[in-house]
Structure 1
């Protein structure tokens, strides 16, 4: 469906909706490799003004609950309002994407907190964000080519490969709600996009990923997650996944949290809370500056980092605490002189302290990478490609190189944009990925003939004069199985009632027997109306699973009547 729309498109546009930062890129069909990104995301003002290729994933709502600003503009406007004490009723939301990764029982009603701790349903925030990026993109495109219509654009929306089926559907639904035509929309897996981009780069990179039979691991380290895919180049030039996608919550925001925890201990919770309320510009400057320091942190080049923490924060700390800052520093569990003040608004921090903030997420990542590389299936993999904003950190690169002995670790230039640029290329040629490894066993809830030798008595039911067994897991594909992108599995059955209800299940078990087994999860269901004129035993229905693409699609069709229906996710009903 999307491939036809893609072939007719004049240009492909990709959105990278990140935990910390978001952005877009595009290229025209007549020159697909000339990929353009927005160059003008500005943060802050005056001496602290920053220019970025992506903007902050932040949304500002006005007192009526309507969209006002996105990105750095949202943060800066909220800070100005707060300075004049005019921010009451305004709501700022930041870094809310992680709700889709952390929530095992995701629904459209899932909530996130704003900057002041008040909750709101998350879905409208995703819709507003995508709508803003889409409108910003449209303006950028029309400055280049006059007469480009909305119907000329094919959209790609990147998602982590480790995301669940329902999280992907959440993003698709948000994009559709934002006005994107579902026929001109494709979801792309982030590590695969990075791989697609890497094959366009210099000879060193091409030598690792572009030759027939090359196997390599792509580690996409973003703000929230580490997203890992293992790929192989097939003789026809396409990519196949050779291990199911994996990863975890080991992104850069956890380093930020450790830094803020230290500031909390140094200046006091009251002072930091007050800074957020009364000197919000200073607060954003503190967090933005640390983001820059975090990405450039390198133990080879420096023995300490110097961060500006704002004089107002020190004044607030003195106001709320009887202890001096020097006394607070002394009470921290760090060696003497590891943290010292320089003037009134700067902290000098030893690299050993900074390294401790990186320790937990990077330790967990490396532990996972080692266990992956020890698996027999991928023992011949000798190349790791590191991308993503957090992957740009020289210290992270150093840790991975040191810990993964014998591995070739490659970091492409502009690693933070590799996913975004690769997503554009993927949009021009979606068939570049030809097969993937299943993360689950998928099937439906069905009946089989009762056999007293192998079926428990309590599962026995009488249907149309025949003893059957209920809750049987009818497997369509098994976990770890390789499936082609266009692969379909169809099974036929006879309807036994006016409405056929097909319940779709998944499990990480390879050989489940019953849908009631531990670990089996109801993913969604399909309701199809059958004919009441034709006898049921003269009708045929078929369930079709369409596997291998970035999203799972399941449909039921009555072959006799021609009617068909598609799966509705259980959590979004």
Structure 2
């Protein structure tokens, strides 16, 4: 087992990212762990000091890091005004590309704000490296040395992400200089649950009792990630329902606001603002942020939103032939808007309507879990994540579940990050998980006409076989203990076969028979060289390691005893 002296957690978010660390001695009780975090993500223009920074990355055309976070946004705005944008890449809010793409490959590319493309793995690698470098600089003044080889690194990912997305993040972190053997992947709602167990809010102390069951709802910027845990007698947590969620986090409300702006000013005008005045465009995208967190569900009258008035007014005149007041007055919904200086005043009923679809989705996800009969002793629904601070969502959840204890965890926006540090000290805190998918291996079987379609029959060395068979070894919704192993034995099918290629696939569909069906996704593969190939059939054993946040396999050549254990990698 790797020896570590520090723990560093990186919370790579859709809208905001950050890191926290601890130099508490390994083996200490979690309540004794001192969690330190960076508090100098300063925005020069808005005067904001934050635990996290916007997930924004500025690179040169040679792919050198210029800045990350607030600094990246501010410097890029100056670069555009100086007419030098062609010499840079600027990426903003790109994490959701991993959620939206089920078939992630190493060839995947991302577009920056101007449509320039760059390898996705490089964008994530350099973003993680920027956070890592910022950490190194910020601890130097505190006389703390973060030795990469003696630091346990924890990287957070949504529990609802596919295995390929998790692999992608691991590989990006490794490319950023984090050693494979020192890196742990933490699932965001699990990290939050560990923190809530260790430092429960006053209203949620019942969740620490043995036998209590509770829901953790991580309401983030991009995704909502929900899991259910039970406290066991040994102090660990058991997952009762597989993680559930979707892309209905805080940015979906931002998107609804942006669509409202499109209806007012038109998509071409906003596109021009994005291209020519990216700083103003980012201000417009983010100007609903404060409203989103503070607006009350019973708000009446008008809601004030600070807009980049000068730029927007100039674009209205040049692109639409009217000033901004004229555009608003000519709108079919003009009675819902007022303009006072740089404040766009929106009728409260219109502002609140922007939350409806998102809030309905969150309530629906919670109901799909809470109303299941297997959950009989729910001690509370714990809300965590930055979007959990939204008063509208809080009220809708309380209304939907009048008989349940709804608790907003204190400091909800940093719970995942701090919980990830605790996970670094005790990565076996979650002792049982529910499989999200059915997993299987590609194999070649003797052809059975009663089992396989005729067109799939192939002759190999005088023997009729069926290739690309999906051979499942664990089913979705199976409860798996941490450290659980499954052994499967396979045989070679050719004389003097020199290697065995093992490829694992996963699916949400219960009746997949072949790996080339549309619902079957390749997780990864590995190659085992057969020592001293022979004419006779060789027996190969695959040992699948389950129950952790990631999936790995050991392949054994039974005759020679050679074996290989590894995580799968994205190569295609």
Moved more, 302-311 or 70-79: 302-311
Find the aligned partners of 2:306 and 2:512 in 1 and give their Cα distance.
Answer: 57
SS at match of 2:86: coil
Contact 1:448–1:468, Cα closer than 8 Å, also in 2: yes
Equivalent residues in 2 for 1:385-534, closer than 5 Å: 385-447=382-444, 470-496=467-493, 497-510=497-510, 512-515=512-515, 519-532=519-532, 534=534
Q: Which residue of 2 aligns with 1:207?
A: 205
Instruction: Check the 8 A contact 2:148/2:179 in 1, yes or no.
Output: no
Range that drifts further, 540-549 or 82-91: 82-91
TM-superposed CA distance for 1:492, in Å, is 2.3
SS in 2 for 1:431: coil
Q: 1:268-322, CA deviations, whole angstroms, 9 ceiling, x for partnerless residues? A: 4454344445544444344444222222222346643212213312233133323
- TM-score normalized by structure 2? 0.91
Change (3 A) 1:247 1:28: same
Structure 1 length as normaliser, TM-score? 0.91
Quick check: 1:111–1:119 contact (8 Å CA) kept in 2? yes
Which range moved further: 255-264 or 515-524?
Answer: 515-524
* C-alpha contact (below 8 Å) 2:219/2:384 kept by paired residues: yes
Per the TM alignment, residue 97 of structure 1 is displaced from its structure 2 partner at its CA by: 0.7
Asked whether the equivalents of residues 491 and 544 of structure 1 are also in contact (C-alpha less than 8 Å), the reply is: yes
User: What is the alpha-carbon distance in structure 2 between the residues aligned to residue 283 and residue 101 of structure 1?
Assistant: 24
Q: SS of the residue aligned with 2:87?
A: coil
Q: Which residue of 1 aligns with 2:89?
A: 91
Counterpart secondary structure, 1:536: coil
d(CA) in 2 for partners of 1:490, 1:554: 10
In 2: Cα distance, 1:293 partner to 1:95 partner? 20
* 3-state SS in 1 of match to 2:115: coil
Query: C-alpha deviations, 1:497-542, integer Å up to 9, x for none?
Result: 22222232222244655545663333322321213355534x4320
Secondary structure at the aligned position of 2:374 is classed as helix
Return the match for 1:187 from 185, 188, 191.
Answer: 185
Give, in whole Å, the separation in 1 of the partners of 2:33 and 2:505: 41
- Determine which of 252, 255, 259 is the counterpart of 2:253: 255
Aligned mates of 1:465, 1:83 — CA distance in 2: 71
Which has the higher mean CA deviation after the structures are superposed, 459-468 or 391-400?
A: 459-468
Residues 387 and 416 in structure 1, CA contact (< 8 A), matched pair in contact too: yes
Determine the structure 1 residue equivalent to 2:161: 163
Equivalent-residue separation in structure 1 for 2:138 and 2:407 (angstroms)? 32
Alignment of 1:102-181 (within 5 A): 102-146=100-144, 148-181=146-179
Residue in 2 that maps onto 1:18: 13
Contact 1:526 1:566 in 2 (8 A): no
Give 1:478 shift: 0.9
Contact 1:156–1:185 (CA<8 Å) still a contact in 2?
yes
Q: Name the CA shift for 1:519/1:64 in 2 (closer, same or farther; >3 Å).
A: closer
Question: Equivalent residue of 2:198, what SS?
Answer: coil
Measure, in 1, the Cα distance between the counterparts of 2:320 and 2:145: 63
Structure 1 SS opposite 2:103 = coil
CA contact (8 A) 2:8 2:20 kept: yes
**Residue of structure 2 equivalent to 1:562:** 561
Cα pair distance change 1:442/1:285, threshold 3 Å: closer
CA–CA distance in structure 2, aligned partners of residues 275 and 371 of structure 1: 41
1:50 to 48, 54, 67: 48
Task: Give the whole-Å Cα distance in 2 for the aligned partners of 1:279 and 1:526.
Answer: 48
Residue of structure 2 in register with 1:314 after alignment = 313
Matched, 1:545 2:544: yes
Residue 458 of structure 1 deviates from its aligned partner by 5.2
Change (3 A) 1:290 1:452: closer
Report if the CA contact (8 A) 1:310-1:346 is conserved.
Answer: no
Q: Does the 8 Å contact 1:526/1:555 carry over to 2? A: no
Alpha-carbon shift at residue 445 of structure 1 (Å): 2.8
- 8 Å contact kept, 2:299–2:348: no
What runs of 5+ residues in structure 2 fail to find an aligned partner?
none
1:230-269 to 2 correspondence within 5 Å? 230-269=228-267
Once the 2 structures are TM-superposed, how far is the Cα of residue 256 of structure 1 from its aligned partner? 1.5
Does the Cα contact within 8 Å between 2:192 and 2:216 map onto a contact in 1?
yes
Whole-angstrom distance in 2 between the partners of 1:526 and 1:278? 47
Alpha-carbon distance, 1:483 to partner: 0.6
Written as runs of structure 1 = structure 2, the 5 A alignment for 1:73-88 is 73-88=71-86
Give how far 1:568 is off: 7.6
- The 2-side partners of 1:356 and 1:500 are apart by 57
**In structure 1, how many angstroms separate the alpha carbons of the residues matched to 2:516 and 2:283?**
53
d(CA) in 2 for partners of 1:282, 1:465:
70
The 1:568–1:327 alpha-carbon spacing in structure 2 relative to 1, beyond 3 Å, is same
Deviation of 1:92 (Å): 1.0
Query: Quick one: distance in 1 between partners of 2:498 and 2:536?
Result: 8
Give the gaps of 5 or more residues in structure 1. none
Q: CA deviation at 1:570?
A: 7.9
Distance in 2, matches of 1:570 and 1:145, equals: 37
In 1, Cα distance between the equivalents of 2:375 and 2:533?
56
Residues 395, 524 of structure 1: alpha-carbon distance in 2 compared, 3 angstrom cutoff = same
